[in-house]
């Protein structure tokens, strides 16, 4: 732990962890029920993943536990192996092992390249999801499973509003929204709201829904052993669970970074998540990942270090060991009021304020991710967003790249070659210049220029202004060279020495294709060689 860790930091971590734990409690129980493994399994998973991911992970403020997407995959495993608990838990164990492997393979660094419009749409979408899902408990209705369902059933909930629930939620929101900063720095407003709302409900015996009875008792420890014949079914589910957990956790890490102005260690985070899921499998718990809602609650309540995530886990353990009878009185409208504040806080106001001024392509990506996040699926939204952003950046880069065919201007020749060029070659030497990245987005432009070269004698392919080439670029170049040779045109390639393209060309067999003198790093040398070929031809 950092030696600068202070009492003030500990107080923030304590309040952050307790508040996140209170929010996590009903979610863990609900995910356990939804998975078919029972409510206590959700609690086991929240404790194990929350503790070990915080202890060994790379995002200090992240709170981990069962999430919606992870619980869906786990539920599918329960259905696939209905009578084999060991196989179901084996899926979780292997998923954790794969996540550790991903961490050591440094796969986590790729999350840094997620474009900001994708992150913005995802964050605002999460905020709207939180708000929509809390509208029904706030009005005294039953919780719903999806934002779309929340919208469709909202008229019915409004028609059957429990005004005691609504009043309690309004009081809660008044506390979390309007508590002066001087007070909330000492005692976080969510915790004040939780205490005030619960006391009001108990003292006045308000007829509102509460968390209710919570299972107690320690789990049994067991190593998941299943027949090896089930591996073909177990491995794909474990891989899906691992990849989903990676995306879920690292996106939450990015959200945490944007709120704390810090930078997480992606690969270390994957190792921590893997250890947490392996621990969950040993005690029969649900798999977990970085949970955006709980992480945001933790940060907003004052959590700044991994102590907050550990505190969240220890709080849930205390609930499991007997404190559950006290937490059972917490009203659901109070939790809904707290989460309404969380939902509004996570909206990306910085981008929303600039929405009329940002480029149209970026706005399209952000809106697509936002709508898919809210109404379809979080992971699908990110996949679509990254794909859209990649296509648009590819279009922008390829639009900026220039590929030009021209006769060699006389000023580029030495004086003794000028007259011969003008009087004798009649543009028997042509130059094809590529300026900008030469990759799959620009290869079509390259192919379009080949027909303009037919009839000349020597073509100098000038790649001096190309910073990099991908495989598509290399293949397009080789196809062009083959076609030029078929037309009895001598190709000469000029590349920049210090960007590594020349060595890549040699490694890929261009030396045999072009001959010993076919690849140059000096443009004038290539021109003189072209002239020699004209004289010989």
Tens digits of per-residue pLDDT, 70-106? 887 788 888 888 878 889 999 999 999 999 999 999 8
- Does residue 214 have a pLDDT over 80? no
- Does residue 396 have a pLDDT over 80? no
Neighbours of 314 (CB within 10 A): 16
pLDDT digits (tens, 9 = 90+) for 185-209: 667 677 788 889 989 999 999 999 8
- Does residue 411 have a pLDDT over 70? no
Q: CATH 3.30.750.24 region(s) of the chain?
A: 401-536
Q: Which helix (H) or strand (E) holds 64?
A: strand 64-65
Which pairing describes strands 64-65 and 289-290: parallel, antiparallel, or unpaired? antiparallel
pLDDT digits (tens, 9 = 90+) for 259-297: 888 888 999 999 999 999 999 999 999 999 998 878 988
- Does residue 306 have a pLDDT over 90? yes
Q: 398 or 53: whose pLDDT is higher?
A: 53
| pLDDT value, residue 283 | 93
CB 445 within 8 A of CB 403: yes
Q: How confident is the model at residue 490 (pLDDT cuts 50, 70, 90)?
A: confident
pLDDT digits (tens, 9 = 90+) for 423-459: 455 667 888 888 777 776 666 666 666 667 777 888 8
Q: 142 or 326: whose pLDDT is higher?
A: 142
| pLDDT value, residue 403 | 57
- Does residue 253 have a pLDDT over 50? yes
Strand ranges (E), 274-422: 289-290, 402-407
Between the alpha carbon of residue 38 and those of residues 107, 188, 225, the distances in Å are 33, 32, 21
- Domain 401-536 carries which CATH code? 3.30.750.24
- Does residue 410 have a pLDDT over 50? no
pTM of the model: 0.66
Please, what is the angle between helix 306-318 and helix 7-35, to 10°? Answer: 50
| pLDDT value, residue 368 | 93
Interatomic CA distance for residues 37 and 284, integer angstroms: 9
Mean pLDDT of the chain: 83
| pLDDT value, residue 402 | 57
| pLDDT value, residue 413 | 46
| pLDDT value, residue 434 | 82
Rounded mean pLDDT of 410-422?
44
| pLDDT value, residue 76 | 81
- Does residue 416 have a pLDDT over 50? no
| pLDDT value, residue 91 | 93
């Amino acid at each position: 732990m950092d030696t600068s860790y202070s009492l003030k930091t500990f107080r923030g971590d304590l309040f952050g962890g307790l508040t996140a734990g209170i929010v996590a409690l009903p979610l863990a129980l609900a995910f356990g029920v939804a998975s078919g493994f029972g409510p206590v399994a959700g609690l086991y998973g929240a404790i194990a993943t929350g503790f070990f991911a915080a202890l060994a992970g790379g995002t200090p403020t992240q709170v981990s536990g069962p999430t919606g997407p992870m619980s869906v995959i786990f539920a599918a495993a329960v259905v696939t192996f209905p009578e084999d608990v060991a196989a179901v838990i084996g899926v979780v164990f292997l998923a954790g092992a794969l996540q550790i492997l991903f961490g050591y393979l440094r796969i986590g660094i790729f999350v840094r390249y997620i474009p900001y419009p994708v992150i913005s749409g995802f964050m605002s979408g999460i905020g709207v999801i939180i708000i929509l899902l809390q509208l029904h408990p706030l009005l005294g209705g039953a919780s719903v499973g999806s934002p779309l369902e929340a919208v469709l059933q909202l008229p019915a909930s409004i028609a059957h509003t429990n005004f005691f629930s609504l009043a309690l939620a309004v009081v809660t929101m008044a506390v979390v929204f309007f508590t002066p900063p001087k007070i909330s720095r000492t005692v976080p407003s969510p915790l004040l709201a939780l205490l005030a709302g619960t006391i009001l409900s108990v003292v006045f015996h308000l007829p509102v829904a509460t968390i209710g009875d919570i299972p107690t008792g320690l789990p049994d420890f067991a190593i998941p052993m299943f027949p090896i014949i089930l591996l073909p079914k177990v491995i794909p589910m474990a891989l899906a669970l691992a990849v989903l957990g990676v995306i879920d956790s690292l996106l939450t890490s990015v959200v945490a970074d944007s709120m704390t102005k810090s930078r997480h260690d992606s690969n270390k985070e994957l190792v921590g998540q893997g250890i947490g899921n392996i621990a969950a499998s040993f005690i029969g718990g649900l798999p977990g990942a970085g949970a955006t809602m709980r992480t945001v609650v933790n940060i907003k309540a004052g959590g700044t270090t991994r102590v907050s995530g550990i505190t969240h886990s220890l709080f849930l353990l205390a609930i499991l060991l007997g404190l559950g009878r006290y937490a059972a009185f917490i009203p659901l409208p109070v939790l809904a009021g707290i989460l309404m504040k969380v939902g509004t806080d996570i909206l990306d106001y910085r981008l929303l304020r600039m929405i009329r001024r940002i480029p149209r392509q970026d706005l399209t990506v952000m809106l697509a991710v936002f709508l898919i996040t809210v109404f379809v699926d979080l992971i699908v939204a990110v996949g679509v967003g990254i794909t859209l952003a990649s296509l648009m950046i590819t279009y922008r880069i390829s639009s900026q790249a220039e590929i030009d065919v021209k006769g060699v201007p006389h000023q580029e020749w030495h004086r003794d070659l000028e007259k011969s060029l003008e009087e004798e070659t009649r543009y028997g030497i042509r130059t094809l210049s590529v300026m900008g990245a030469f990759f799959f987005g620009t290869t079509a432009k390259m192919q379009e220029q080949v027909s303009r070269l037919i009839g000349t004698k020597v073509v100098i392919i000038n790649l001096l202004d190309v910073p990099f080439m991908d495989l598509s670029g290399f293949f397009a170049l080789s196809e062009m060279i083959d076609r030029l040779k078929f037309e009895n045109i001598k190709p000469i390639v000029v590349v920049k020495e210090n960007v590594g393209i020349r060595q890549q060309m040699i490694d890929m067999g261009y030396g045999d294709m072009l001959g010993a003198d076919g690849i140059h790093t000096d443009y004038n040398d290539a021109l003189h060689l072209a002239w020699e070929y004209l004289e010989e031809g």
